[in-house]
Amino acid sequence: MNTKKTLSTAAITALPSGIRRMFELAKNYPDAINLTLGEPGFDTPPGIVQAAIKGLCDKKTKYTPNAGICELREAIAYKLRTENGISCDPDKNLIVTAGATQALMLAMVTLVNPGDEVIIQGPNWPDYRGQIDMVNAKTVYARVSEKNGFKMTADIIEPLITEKTKLIIINSPSNPTGGVLDYEDLCEIAELVKKYKLFVISDEPYEKLVYDGFRQKSLASIEGLEDYVLTINSLSKTFAMTGFRVGYICANEHITENLIKLHENMIASVPEPMQLAAAEAILHGEEDVRRMVEYYDRNRRLMVDGLNSIRGFSCLAPRGAFYVFPSIRDFKMSSCEAAEYILEKTHVVTSPGSAFGDGGEGYIRICYASKHENIKEALARMRTAFGEK
Protein backbone atom coordinates (compact mmCIF):
# COMPACT_ATOMS: atom_id res chain seq x y z
CA MET A 1 0.00 0.00 0.00
CA ASN A 2 2.66 2.49 0.95
CA THR A 3 5.33 1.52 -1.61
CA LYS A 4 6.63 4.46 -3.62
CA LYS A 5 4.89 4.71 -7.01
CA THR A 6 6.94 4.85 -10.20
CA LEU A 7 6.28 7.13 -13.13
CA SER A 8 4.39 5.86 -16.17
CA THR A 9 6.02 3.49 -18.64
CA ALA A 10 5.58 6.19 -21.28
CA ALA A 11 7.68 8.61 -19.24
CA ILE A 12 10.31 6.06 -18.28
CA THR A 13 10.80 4.68 -21.78
CA ALA A 14 10.65 8.01 -23.69
CA LEU A 15 13.81 8.44 -25.74
CA PRO A 16 15.97 11.52 -25.04
CA SER A 17 16.20 13.91 -28.00
CA GLY A 18 19.40 13.68 -30.05
CA ILE A 19 18.79 17.28 -31.18
CA ARG A 20 18.60 18.62 -27.60
CA ARG A 21 21.92 16.94 -26.86
CA MET A 22 23.59 18.99 -29.62
CA PHE A 23 21.94 22.07 -28.19
CA GLU A 24 23.49 21.39 -24.81
CA LEU A 25 26.95 20.79 -26.32
CA ALA A 26 26.65 24.03 -28.33
CA LYS A 27 26.48 26.02 -25.10
CA ASN A 28 30.25 25.53 -24.81
CA TYR A 29 30.81 27.63 -27.96
CA PRO A 30 29.82 31.33 -27.68
CA ASP A 31 30.22 31.87 -31.46
CA ALA A 32 28.16 28.78 -32.37
CA ILE A 33 25.90 28.94 -35.45
CA ASN A 34 22.91 26.86 -34.52
CA LEU A 35 21.24 25.15 -37.47
CA THR A 36 19.42 22.45 -35.51
CA LEU A 37 15.86 23.53 -34.72
CA GLY A 38 13.17 23.76 -37.42
CA GLU A 39 12.48 27.37 -36.55
CA PRO A 40 11.84 30.04 -39.23
CA GLY A 41 14.53 32.72 -39.13
CA PHE A 42 11.91 35.48 -39.61
CA ASP A 43 9.91 37.46 -37.10
CA THR A 44 6.18 36.80 -37.29
CA PRO A 45 4.75 39.29 -39.83
CA PRO A 46 3.45 42.44 -38.04
CA GLY A 47 -0.17 42.16 -39.30
CA ILE A 48 -0.45 38.74 -37.67
CA VAL A 49 1.05 39.99 -34.38
CA GLN A 50 -1.36 42.96 -34.43
CA ALA A 51 -4.35 40.63 -34.82
CA ALA A 52 -3.29 38.78 -31.65
CA ILE A 53 -2.79 42.06 -29.75
CA LYS A 54 -6.21 43.28 -30.89
CA GLY A 55 -7.73 40.03 -29.63
CA LEU A 56 -6.24 40.61 -26.19
CA CYS A 57 -7.34 44.28 -26.12
CA ASP A 58 -10.85 43.21 -27.17
CA LYS A 59 -10.89 40.92 -24.10
CA LYS A 60 -10.91 37.71 -26.15
CA THR A 61 -9.43 35.94 -23.18
CA LYS A 62 -11.97 33.19 -22.43
CA TYR A 63 -12.48 29.59 -23.58
CA THR A 64 -13.62 29.21 -27.17
CA PRO A 65 -15.71 26.35 -28.63
CA ASN A 66 -13.65 23.14 -28.62
CA ALA A 67 -13.54 23.09 -32.40
CA GLY A 68 -12.21 26.67 -32.56
CA ILE A 69 -13.76 30.04 -33.43
CA CYS A 70 -16.01 30.35 -36.49
CA GLU A 71 -13.85 33.02 -38.21
CA LEU A 72 -10.83 30.73 -38.20
CA ARG A 73 -12.67 27.57 -39.22
CA GLU A 74 -14.28 29.44 -42.09
CA ALA A 75 -10.88 30.79 -43.21
CA ILE A 76 -9.35 27.30 -43.05
CA ALA A 77 -12.27 25.70 -44.92
CA TYR A 78 -11.99 28.33 -47.66
CA LYS A 79 -8.22 27.73 -47.92
CA LEU A 80 -8.66 23.95 -48.08
CA ARG A 81 -11.35 24.21 -50.75
CA THR A 82 -9.60 26.75 -52.95
CA GLU A 83 -5.93 25.81 -52.52
CA ASN A 84 -6.00 22.10 -51.70
CA GLY A 85 -9.11 20.87 -53.47
CA ILE A 86 -10.46 19.40 -50.22
CA SER A 87 -14.18 19.83 -49.65
CA CYS A 88 -14.64 20.91 -46.07
CA ASP A 89 -17.60 22.14 -44.01
CA PRO A 90 -16.26 24.43 -41.27
CA ASP A 91 -18.95 23.17 -38.85
CA LYS A 92 -18.51 19.47 -39.50
CA ASN A 93 -14.99 18.71 -40.67
CA LEU A 94 -12.60 20.95 -38.77
CA ILE A 95 -10.96 21.30 -35.41
CA VAL A 96 -8.38 23.91 -34.41
CA THR A 97 -5.47 22.52 -32.39
CA ALA A 98 -2.37 23.68 -30.55
CA GLY A 99 -0.06 23.28 -33.53
CA ALA A 100 0.38 20.15 -35.60
CA THR A 101 2.02 18.50 -32.58
CA GLN A 102 -1.22 18.41 -30.60
CA ALA A 103 -3.20 17.69 -33.76
CA LEU A 104 -1.11 14.56 -34.27
CA MET A 105 -1.41 13.45 -30.64
CA LEU A 106 -5.17 14.04 -30.71
CA ALA A 107 -5.51 12.09 -33.95
CA MET A 108 -3.37 9.29 -32.54
CA VAL A 109 -5.50 9.00 -29.39
CA THR A 110 -8.68 9.08 -31.50
CA LEU A 111 -7.60 6.43 -34.01
CA VAL A 112 -5.12 4.07 -32.41
CA ASN A 113 -5.45 1.35 -29.75
CA PRO A 114 -2.61 -0.31 -27.82
CA GLY A 115 -0.99 -2.96 -30.00
CA ASP A 116 -2.03 -1.37 -33.31
CA GLU A 117 0.71 -0.82 -35.87
CA VAL A 118 1.43 2.61 -37.31
CA ILE A 119 3.57 2.97 -40.43
CA ILE A 120 5.79 6.03 -40.66
CA GLN A 121 8.72 6.83 -42.87
CA GLY A 122 12.23 6.29 -41.59
CA PRO A 123 13.98 8.71 -41.11
CA ASN A 124 11.14 10.74 -39.65
CA TRP A 125 10.24 13.66 -37.40
CA PRO A 126 11.02 12.08 -33.98
CA ASP A 127 7.74 13.13 -32.32
CA TYR A 128 5.78 10.61 -34.43
CA ARG A 129 7.61 7.79 -32.72
CA GLY A 130 7.24 9.44 -29.29
CA GLN A 131 3.49 9.81 -29.77
CA ILE A 132 3.01 6.27 -31.08
CA ASP A 133 4.83 5.02 -27.97
CA MET A 134 2.53 7.12 -25.78
CA VAL A 135 -0.54 5.27 -27.06
CA ASN A 136 1.24 1.90 -26.67
CA ALA A 137 1.13 1.19 -30.38
CA LYS A 138 3.94 -0.20 -32.51
CA THR A 139 6.00 1.93 -34.91
CA VAL A 140 6.70 0.26 -38.24
CA TYR A 141 9.30 2.09 -40.33
CA ALA A 142 9.01 2.41 -44.08
CA ARG A 143 12.67 2.96 -44.86
CA VAL A 144 13.16 5.60 -47.55
CA SER A 145 16.28 5.97 -49.62
CA GLU A 146 18.29 8.87 -50.96
CA LYS A 147 18.38 7.16 -54.37
CA ASN A 148 14.61 7.62 -54.60
CA GLY A 149 14.58 11.23 -53.35
CA PHE A 150 13.67 9.99 -49.82
CA LYS A 151 10.10 9.22 -50.97
CA MET A 152 7.81 6.95 -48.97
CA THR A 153 6.08 5.36 -51.93
CA ALA A 154 3.30 2.75 -52.02
CA ASP A 155 5.70 -0.05 -53.01
CA ILE A 156 7.69 0.53 -49.79
CA ILE A 157 4.55 0.71 -47.65
CA GLU A 158 2.56 -2.28 -48.97
CA PRO A 159 4.85 -5.12 -47.76
CA LEU A 160 4.67 -3.65 -44.24
CA ILE A 161 0.88 -3.81 -43.99
CA THR A 162 -0.44 -6.51 -41.62
CA GLU A 163 -3.75 -7.32 -39.90
CA LYS A 164 -2.65 -4.99 -37.12
CA THR A 165 -1.91 -1.96 -39.29
CA LYS A 166 -4.29 0.86 -38.33
CA LEU A 167 -2.67 4.01 -39.57
CA ILE A 168 -0.10 5.37 -42.01
CA ILE A 169 1.43 8.81 -41.52
CA ILE A 170 2.66 10.58 -44.62
CA ASN A 171 4.64 13.80 -44.45
CA SER A 172 5.36 15.68 -47.65
CA PRO A 173 7.45 17.84 -47.76
CA SER A 174 9.25 15.85 -45.16
CA ASN A 175 11.19 16.60 -42.03
CA PRO A 176 14.10 15.72 -41.90
CA THR A 177 14.87 14.96 -45.56
CA GLY A 178 13.05 17.72 -47.49
CA GLY A 179 11.78 14.95 -49.81
CA VAL A 180 8.37 15.35 -51.43
CA LEU A 181 5.69 13.05 -52.82
CA ASP A 182 4.50 13.78 -56.35
CA TYR A 183 0.82 13.54 -57.28
CA GLU A 184 1.38 10.10 -58.87
CA ASP A 185 2.93 8.85 -55.59
CA LEU A 186 -0.11 10.12 -53.68
CA CYS A 187 -2.47 8.38 -56.14
CA GLU A 188 -0.68 5.07 -55.57
CA ILE A 189 -0.88 5.54 -51.79
CA ALA A 190 -4.60 6.35 -52.22
CA GLU A 191 -5.11 2.98 -53.95
CA LEU A 192 -3.44 1.17 -51.04
CA VAL A 193 -5.53 3.01 -48.51
CA LYS A 194 -8.74 2.01 -50.27
CA LYS A 195 -7.59 -1.57 -50.78
CA TYR A 196 -6.66 -2.13 -47.12
CA LYS A 197 -9.11 0.39 -45.60
CA LEU A 198 -6.51 2.10 -43.44
CA PHE A 199 -6.50 5.48 -41.77
CA VAL A 200 -3.94 7.95 -43.07
CA ILE A 201 -2.70 11.14 -41.48
CA SER A 202 -1.31 13.52 -44.06
CA ASP A 203 0.90 15.87 -42.03
CA GLU A 204 1.38 18.95 -44.23
CA PRO A 205 3.03 21.77 -42.21
CA TYR A 206 5.65 22.38 -44.93
CA GLU A 207 3.12 22.35 -47.77
CA LYS A 208 3.97 25.87 -48.97
CA LEU A 209 7.74 25.63 -48.49
CA VAL A 210 8.43 24.15 -51.92
CA TYR A 211 10.94 24.98 -54.65
CA ASP A 212 11.87 24.52 -58.31
CA GLY A 213 8.25 24.99 -59.38
CA PHE A 214 7.03 22.01 -57.34
CA ARG A 215 3.49 22.31 -55.98
CA GLN A 216 2.44 20.02 -53.13
CA LYS A 217 -0.92 18.29 -53.59
CA SER A 218 -2.98 17.00 -50.68
CA LEU A 219 -3.79 13.31 -50.38
CA ALA A 220 -7.35 14.20 -49.29
CA SER A 221 -7.99 15.91 -52.64
CA ILE A 222 -8.07 12.47 -54.27
CA GLU A 223 -11.60 11.14 -54.63
CA GLY A 224 -12.97 8.41 -52.39
CA LEU A 225 -10.70 8.98 -49.39
CA GLU A 226 -13.13 10.94 -47.15
CA ASP A 227 -13.42 8.14 -44.60
CA TYR A 228 -9.72 7.43 -44.37
CA VAL A 229 -7.66 10.62 -44.49
CA LEU A 230 -7.08 13.20 -41.77
CA THR A 231 -5.32 16.28 -43.12
CA ILE A 232 -3.18 17.97 -40.50
CA ASN A 233 -1.62 21.36 -41.01
CA SER A 234 -0.10 24.14 -38.95
CA LEU A 235 0.60 27.85 -39.16
CA SER A 236 4.00 27.40 -37.47
CA LYS A 237 6.43 27.01 -40.35
CA THR A 238 4.53 28.74 -43.16
CA PHE A 239 3.89 32.03 -41.36
CA ALA A 240 6.82 32.00 -38.86
CA MET A 241 4.30 31.42 -36.05
CA THR A 242 5.87 28.53 -34.12
CA GLY A 243 5.16 30.20 -30.76
CA PHE A 244 1.49 30.88 -31.54
CA ARG A 245 0.70 27.17 -31.41
CA VAL A 246 -2.08 26.96 -33.98
CA GLY A 247 -2.79 24.04 -36.26
CA TYR A 248 -5.84 22.09 -37.42
CA ILE A 249 -7.27 18.77 -38.52
CA CYS A 250 -9.69 18.26 -41.38
CA ALA A 251 -11.51 14.91 -41.29
CA ASN A 252 -14.92 13.38 -41.95
CA GLU A 253 -17.81 14.28 -39.65
CA HIS A 254 -17.71 11.12 -37.53
CA ILE A 255 -13.96 11.38 -36.89
CA THR A 256 -14.23 15.13 -36.21
CA GLU A 257 -16.98 14.62 -33.58
CA ASN A 258 -14.68 12.22 -31.78
CA LEU A 259 -11.64 14.47 -32.12
CA ILE A 260 -13.67 17.26 -30.51
CA LYS A 261 -14.67 15.03 -27.55
CA LEU A 262 -11.06 14.12 -26.79
CA HIS A 263 -9.79 17.64 -27.47
CA GLU A 264 -11.93 18.79 -24.51
CA ASN A 265 -9.99 16.37 -22.27
CA MET A 266 -6.64 17.39 -23.70
CA ILE A 267 -6.55 21.19 -23.98
CA ALA A 268 -10.24 22.25 -24.33
CA SER A 269 -9.42 25.06 -26.77
CA VAL A 270 -6.65 27.14 -28.31
CA PRO A 271 -6.27 30.74 -26.95
CA GLU A 272 -8.58 33.03 -28.93
CA PRO A 273 -6.03 35.80 -29.73
CA MET A 274 -3.86 33.14 -31.37
CA GLN A 275 -6.82 31.86 -33.38
CA LEU A 276 -7.58 35.42 -34.55
CA ALA A 277 -3.95 35.82 -35.58
CA ALA A 278 -4.16 32.53 -37.49
CA ALA A 279 -7.26 33.72 -39.37
CA GLU A 280 -5.41 36.92 -40.30
CA ALA A 281 -2.43 34.87 -41.54
CA ILE A 282 -4.56 32.57 -43.69
CA LEU A 283 -6.62 35.40 -45.18
CA HIS A 284 -3.91 38.04 -45.66
CA GLY A 285 -0.48 36.42 -45.21
CA GLU A 286 0.22 35.12 -48.72
CA GLU A 287 2.64 37.90 -49.66
CA ASP A 288 4.70 37.28 -46.51
CA VAL A 289 4.86 33.58 -47.31
CA ARG A 290 6.05 34.27 -50.85
CA ARG A 291 8.80 36.56 -49.50
CA MET A 292 9.97 33.99 -46.94
CA VAL A 293 9.93 31.08 -49.39
CA GLU A 294 12.07 33.08 -51.83
CA TYR A 295 14.55 33.73 -49.04
CA TYR A 296 14.65 30.05 -48.00
CA ASP A 297 15.14 29.04 -51.61
CA ARG A 298 18.28 31.19 -51.87
CA ASN A 299 19.58 29.59 -48.66
CA ARG A 300 18.74 26.15 -49.99
CA ARG A 301 20.80 26.70 -53.12
CA LEU A 302 23.68 28.19 -51.14
CA MET A 303 23.61 25.22 -48.79
CA VAL A 304 23.36 22.45 -51.39
CA ASP A 305 26.05 23.92 -53.69
CA GLY A 306 28.24 24.78 -50.71
CA LEU A 307 28.06 21.35 -49.07
CA ASN A 308 28.63 19.53 -52.35
CA SER A 309 31.89 21.43 -52.79
CA ILE A 310 33.20 20.56 -49.31
CA ARG A 311 35.06 17.34 -48.57
CA GLY A 312 33.02 14.78 -46.61
CA PHE A 313 29.53 15.89 -47.66
CA SER A 314 27.20 14.78 -50.40
CA CYS A 315 23.86 16.54 -50.53
CA LEU A 316 20.69 15.96 -52.54
CA ALA A 317 18.80 19.16 -53.44
CA PRO A 318 15.54 18.92 -51.48
CA ARG A 319 12.33 20.10 -53.14
CA GLY A 320 10.56 21.08 -49.92
CA ALA A 321 10.67 22.12 -46.22
CA PHE A 322 13.75 23.99 -44.95
CA TYR A 323 16.17 21.17 -44.23
CA VAL A 324 19.02 19.50 -46.07
CA PHE A 325 19.94 15.94 -45.16
CA PRO A 326 23.47 15.43 -46.47
CA SER A 327 25.30 12.12 -46.34
CA ILE A 328 28.37 12.29 -44.09
CA ARG A 329 29.46 8.69 -44.73
CA ASP A 330 32.84 9.93 -46.02
CA PHE A 331 33.65 11.13 -42.51
CA LYS A 332 33.74 7.39 -41.59
CA MET A 333 31.98 8.14 -38.32
CA SER A 334 28.53 7.63 -36.85
CA SER A 335 26.18 10.58 -37.37
CA CYS A 336 26.47 11.51 -33.65
CA GLU A 337 30.26 11.51 -33.87
CA ALA A 338 30.19 13.49 -37.11
CA ALA A 339 27.80 16.15 -35.70
CA GLU A 340 30.05 16.49 -32.64
CA TYR A 341 33.18 16.62 -34.78
CA ILE A 342 31.67 19.33 -37.00
CA LEU A 343 30.67 21.29 -33.90
CA GLU A 344 34.14 20.99 -32.40
CA LYS A 345 35.96 21.99 -35.61
CA THR A 346 33.60 24.71 -36.91
CA HIS A 347 31.21 25.65 -34.08
CA VAL A 348 28.34 24.90 -36.47
CA VAL A 349 25.55 23.00 -34.72
CA THR A 350 23.76 20.32 -36.76
CA SER A 351 21.54 17.36 -35.83
CA PRO A 352 22.77 13.77 -36.16
CA GLY A 353 20.67 11.72 -38.59
CA SER A 354 20.25 8.99 -35.98
CA ALA A 355 18.07 11.43 -33.98
CA PHE A 356 15.46 10.89 -36.73
CA GLY A 357 15.12 7.17 -36.20
CA ASP A 358 15.45 4.32 -38.61
CA GLY A 359 17.44 5.15 -41.74
CA GLY A 360 18.92 8.37 -40.36
CA GLU A 361 22.38 6.96 -39.67
CA GLY A 362 25.00 8.19 -42.17
CA TYR A 363 23.36 11.63 -42.47
CA ILE A 364 23.03 14.90 -40.60
CA ARG A 365 20.16 17.37 -40.73
CA ILE A 366 20.82 21.06 -41.25
CA CYS A 367 18.02 23.63 -41.04
CA TYR A 368 18.64 26.46 -43.52
CA ALA A 369 15.80 28.74 -42.35
CA SER A 370 18.45 31.01 -40.81
CA LYS A 371 19.81 34.35 -42.12
CA HIS A 372 21.86 34.24 -45.38
CA GLU A 373 24.91 35.50 -43.44
CA ASN A 374 24.71 32.56 -41.02
CA ILE A 375 24.49 30.06 -43.87
CA LYS A 376 27.46 31.65 -45.67
CA GLU A 377 29.53 31.79 -42.48
CA ALA A 378 28.68 28.16 -41.59
CA LEU A 379 29.76 27.00 -45.05
CA ALA A 380 32.94 29.09 -44.94
CA ARG A 381 33.90 27.55 -41.61
CA MET A 382 33.25 24.03 -42.90
CA ARG A 383 35.24 24.72 -46.07
CA THR A 384 38.19 25.92 -44.00
CA ALA A 385 37.99 22.97 -41.61
CA PHE A 386 37.45 20.14 -44.11
CA GLY A 387 38.76 21.52 -47.43
CA GLU A 388 37.41 21.78 -50.98
CA LYS A 389 36.56 18.62 -52.91
Ligand X SMILES: Cc1ncc(COP(=O)(O)O)c(C=O)c1O
**Which residues of the shown chain bind ligand X in the complex (CB under 6 A)?**
38, 99-101, 125, 171, 175, 203, 205, 234, 236, 242, 247
CB of 269 to ligand X, least distance (A): 16
Indicate the residue among 125 and 368 with the shorter CB distance to ligand X. Answer: 125
- Residue 212 is given by DSSP the state T
Indicate the residue among 179 and 273 with the shorter CB distance to ligand X. Answer: 179
Indicate the residue among 17 and 309 with the shorter CB distance to ligand X. Answer: 17
Q: Please, is 383 exposed, middle or buried when counting C-beta atoms within 10 Å of its C-beta (0-12, 13-18, 19+)?
A: middle
Find residue 365's DSSP bridge partners: 351
Indicate the residue among 55 and 247 with the shorter CB distance to ligand X. Answer: 247
CB of 74 to ligand X, least distance (A): 21
- SS3 sequence, 107-166? HHHHHCCCCCEEEEEECCCHHHHHHHHHCCCEEEEEECCHHHCCCCCHHHHHHHCCCCEE
Q: Quick one: how many helices (H) and strands (E) in the chain?
A: 13, 12
Which residue minimizes CB distance to ligand X?
99
Q: Report the Cα–Cα distance between both ends of the chain, in Å, rounded.
A: 67
Rounded-to-integer distance, Cα 5 and Cα 9, Å: 12
Nearest to 296 by CA among 45, 39, 124: 39
CB of 367 to ligand X, least distance (A): 10
CB of 180 to ligand X, least distance (A): 13
- Strands 229-234 and 33-34, bridge-based pairing: unpaired
CB of 58 to ligand X, least distance (A): 25
CB of 186 to ligand X, least distance (A): 17
